[in-house]
Amino acid sequence: MTTLVLGLNGSPRREGNSEFLLREALRGAASKGASIVQVDLAFMDVSPCRACDACFSDGRCSLRDDMDQLYGLMEKADAIIIASPIYFSGMSSHTKTVVDRCQALWARRNVLKEARAPGDGAIILVAAQPNAKFDNALSELRAFLIGIGVRPTEKMTLGGLDRKGMVADMPASLERAFDIGRSLVPDINASP
Ligand SMILES: Cc1cc2nc3c(=O)[nH]c(=O)nc-3n(C[C@H](O)[C@H](O)[C@H](O)COP(=O)(O)O)c2cc1C
């Protein structure tokens, strides 16, 4: 069966640095035969989690918005790549809003014991400062992936990226992102 790799873009800048690296990662996954889907979180209609705990009873969120489609994709994906800019030393608010809404997926796994098939995950973070701090976002996104049953196996952090899309002129970084995408897809054609 074809591997599905889901890419979540947490930047509100079209053709921003997060998106360029995410696209390369998805291209890498596609180069090994995976189906790929990119979702631009900043352009979705997603309300913040209200902590109503409804998902603890049946795994369903009580809110009706674009998360309805994303939950299904996230459960189906064999691998998930999250790309976000650093905003005030954390992930973007667009990313965090979706992360919190995945409390429903956390509840399915950890409260209702409906485990999803295990998958692999990658985290890509970009920031303007050359010595930017990535620890907060990395720690939160790792906890998130583990919480929904995805192993965070790869990460890429890149500072010094201020201007929109400037990473497009950095071939070594694009190549690293491409390789991350490839590494998420099992080599089903490998000889025994
Ligand atoms: C609201 C806001 C907060 C930011 N905070 C930080 C920060 O704390 N550290 C940093 O190095 N860059 C910060 N940046 C810069 C972005 O991380 C940087 O421009 C990044 O390349 C944007 O990625 P994108 O092109 O994918 O949107 C901030 C940008 C914005 C808009």
In the chain, pLDDT over 90 holds for what percent of residues? 94
Residue 192 lies in a domain: no
pLDDT for 48 equals 98
Residue 164 CA, ligand 1 centroid: distance in Å: 10
Q: What is the rounded distance in angstroms from the CA atom of residue 66 to the CA atom of residue 45?
A: 5
Using the atom order of ligand 1, give the atom closest to the CA of residue 162.
19
- pTM: predicted TM-score of the whole model, two decimal places: 0.97
Q: Can you list the residues of the chain whose pLDDT is less than 50? A: 189-192
* β-bridge mates for residue 6, sequence order: 37, 80
Task: Work out how many domains the chain is built from and give that number.
Answer: 1
Tracing tokens 């930047």 back to the chain, one arrives at: 11
Closest Cα to atom 25, ligand 1: which residue? 16
Q: What is the CATH number of the domain that holds 41?
A: 3.40.50.360
pLDDT for 8 equals 98
What range defines the domain where residue 110 resides? 4-183
Pocket of ligand 1 (CB under 6 A): 11, 13, 16-18, 85-89, 126-129, 132, 161-162, 164
- Nearest Cα residue to 127 out of 185, 94, 88: 88
Residue 68 lies in a domain: yes
Residue 190 lies in a domain: no
Residue 136 CA, ligand 1 centroid: distance in Å: 14
Residue 121 CA, ligand 1 centroid: distance in Å: 23
Closest Cα to atom 28, ligand 1: which residue? 87
Q: What is the pLDDT of residues 46-77, one digit of tens each?
A: 999 999 999 999 999 999 999 999 999 999 99
Residue 188 lies in a domain: no
Q: What is the rounded distance in angstroms from the CA atom of residue 149 to the CA atom of residue 135?
A: 21
pLDDT for 39 equals 98
Using the atom order of ligand 1, give the atom closest to the CA of residue 9.
26
Residue 179 lies in a domain: yes
pLDDT for 191 equals 45
Spell out where 51-104 has E strands: 79-87, 90-91
